[in-house]
Amino acid sequence: MAATGSEKQGTKAFYVTTPIYYVNDAPHLGHAYTTVAGDVLTRWHRQRGEKVWYLTGTDEHGQKIMRTAEANDVTPQAWCDKLVEEAWKPLWEHLNIANDDFIRTTQKRHTDRVQEFVQDLYDKDEIYKGGYEGPYCVGCEEFKLPGDLVEAEDGTKLCPVHKRPVEILKEENYFFKLSAYGPKLLEFYEANPGFIQPESARNEVVNFVKQGLDDLSISRSTFDWGIPVPWDEKHVIYVWIDALLNYATAVGYNENPAKFEETFPADVHLIGKDILRFHAVIWPAMLMAQGLPVPGRVAANGWLMVGGEKMSKSNLTGIKPQDLTSHFGVDAYRWYFLRAIAFGQDGSFSWEDFTARYTSELANDYGNLASRVAAMVGKYFGGELPASAADGDAEKAVHEGLAKAVAVADAKIGEELDFQAGILAIFDFVKQVNGYITEQEPWKVAKDESEEGRARLATILYTAAESLRAVAVLLNPIMPETSQALWDSLGAEASLGALASQPVQDAATWGQLPAGATVTKGAVLFPRLEEPKKD
């Protein structure tokens, strides 16, 4: 049995991938949701001090891309180049996505290696020639089973994802012997119950494989926008075989053995649930056939819904991320979707919900806490962080609350991919610190100018500032811009060094922010929202 990613030890990087996205149009919120999740996950692991590799990119072959290019009266390559450079890459930069590589399936480093991989399978007698006739969804670029389809009122068979009629294909193709891998896949799923997440997705895949697998058509012969089959150039390689191999070609498959050994396989493939079978059935079977290790985990996120429909361009519910970042800011955008929606489940978006959470949790709870603490250190101690005196029960409760928040956040975000629970643990601690300040009433303690009164005031404000130091560290993978602003406000850069170098797992170690640090009141972290413009 092939080894999983988690079984490889030593210097292997923590390797995370997003799907490579079709460039038939500009990216929308659904694409950004998965990519931000991957960015938060990899930033978290980097801040653990781990070696990390984060891959994203674009899927540029196939009939859907060809037809879109034709509709726009340009070549497929020109269409892809324009979309990648003018829409996809700029958005990831705008959203502070810290990917290590961006793979395009039209790049020679990819196309050559795909041909080599498929040729190897052909030489091993894993591929044979045959004929195919059946339903195909160009939107999904997927051969559909009759049981997958839904029926319109007039009896037309529709793709369940795109709600559009499927096309009936009849053509000569090459087939991969996928049916032979059903028992091996089931054995693998049984031995690795965490391979597919969430559990509902795992159950779906297991039940699907138990019904028996058909061999997979891995070529198309009725159009030419794709990678040629190396032994028969009348065919192009099926776009999904091409696409899945990006996870190997991008990290040196058949080209850079050292890079490949220290990176592959992926520890986490982040995907949308509509492409689950490709990643949890076809991809591991391809790797098994080639004698390569199988990924550590395939994590399927749910759909973002608007008006009860999956967010996509095809059903007119696509929303540009810039529509939201221009109003709420980039950091709030990165925070909101992971905070509001349990990863792995469908979730609905609304302006009203975003506005309410922004105002309550970011502006009132978190931003106001940072402003109040900086203002009080400035007012009562001239902007110089005082040394804490003896900690009492109230302070010890804060220490314990922080330790709990760090432990929960590290487990939930770093290991379980439960971003919502991890963020909630951090913000529960923010609420605790707010409650601590309310109960201790430093503005009243400040009226006591005795030595004891000053010492007590110093302890309260040090406790609050040190708590914020830890919050900045914990929220840095999620909200890097505002975390850096808070870090600077606390004078932490000068005394503790770069924020990104602070280990998240050590954030609860108390007393890291030194007395004497210069605390300044900077710009408001989360400004009051203006009314959105109405069309």
Phi and psi (nearest 5°) for 217?
-65, 125
Q: Nearest Cα to 532, choosing from 355, 342, 280, 299?
A: 355
Per-residue pLDDT in tens (0 to 9) along the chain, 535 residues? 344 433 334 589 999 999 999 998 889 888 999 999 999 999 999 999 999 999 999 999 988 899 999 999 999 999 999 999 999 999 999 999 999 999 999 999 999 999 999 999 999 999 999 987 777 776 676 666 677 777 777 777 787 766 778 777 777 899 999 999 999 999 999 999 999 999 999 999 999 999 999 999 999 888 899 999 999 999 999 999 999 999 999 999 999 999 999 999 999 999 999 999 999 999 999 999 999 999 999 999 988 876 555 555 444 355 789 999 999 999 999 999 999 999 999 998 888 999 999 999 999 999 999 999 999 999 999 999 999 988 899 999 999 999 999 999 999 999 999 999 999 999 999 999 999 999 999 999 999 999 999 999 999 999 999 999 999 999 999 999 999 999 999 999 999 999 999 999 999 999 999 999 999 998 999 999 977 554 4
What does the DSSP assignment read for 444-503?
HHTT--SHHHHHHHHHHHHHHHHHHHHHHHHHTTT-HHHHHHHHHHTTHHHHH--GGGS-
Q: Which residues contact 439 (CB under 8 A, 6 or more apart)?
A: 394
Output the pLDDT for position 484. Answer: 98
275: left (phi over 0), alpha (psi -120 to 50) or beta: alpha
Cis ω for the linkage preceding 265 (within 30 of 0): yes
Cβ neighbours around 274 below 10 Å, total: 17
Phi and psi (nearest 5°) for 122?
-65, -45
pTM recorded for the entire structure:
0.91
Q: Which residues are catalytic?
A: 28, 31, 137, 140, 159, 162, 310, 313
142: left (phi over 0), alpha (psi -120 to 50) or beta: beta
Output the pLDDT for position 166. Answer: 75
Which residue is it, tokens 């949308």? 272
What's 504's DSSP letter? G
Secondary structure of 18-87 in HEC code, one letter for each residue: EEEEECCCCCCHHHHHHHHHHHHHHHHHHCCCCCEEEEEEEECCCHHHHHHHHHCCCCHHHHHHHHHHHH
Q: Are 41 and 417 in contact (CB under 8 A)?
A: yes
Which residue is it, tokens 């390689």? 237
Rounded Cα–Cα distance for residues 291 and 531 (Å): 57
Output the pLDDT for position 378. Answer: 97
Q: How far is CA 385 from CA 71, 233, 388, 444, in A?
A: 63, 71, 9, 19
Q: How far is CA 445 from CA 218, 430, 442, 453, 517, in A?
A: 74, 22, 5, 6, 22
Output the pLDDT for position 137. Answer: 73
Please give the single-letter amino acid code of residue 133.
E
Q: Which residues contact 125 (CB under 8 A, 6 or more apart)?
A: none
Q: Nearest Cα to 467, choosing from 358, 382, 374?
A: 374
Three-state DSSP state, 288: helix
Q: In what order do the strands lie in the sheet with 14-22?
A: 101-104, 52-59, 14-22, 268-272, 298-301, 196-197
Three-state DSSP state, 405: helix
Kind and range of the H or E run holding 304: strand 304-306
Q: How many angstroms from the chain centroid is the CA of residue 91?
A: 14
Output the pLDDT for position 254. Answer: 96
Rounded Cα–Cα distance for residues 529 and 215 (Å): 55
Which tokens sit at 238?
A: 């099926």
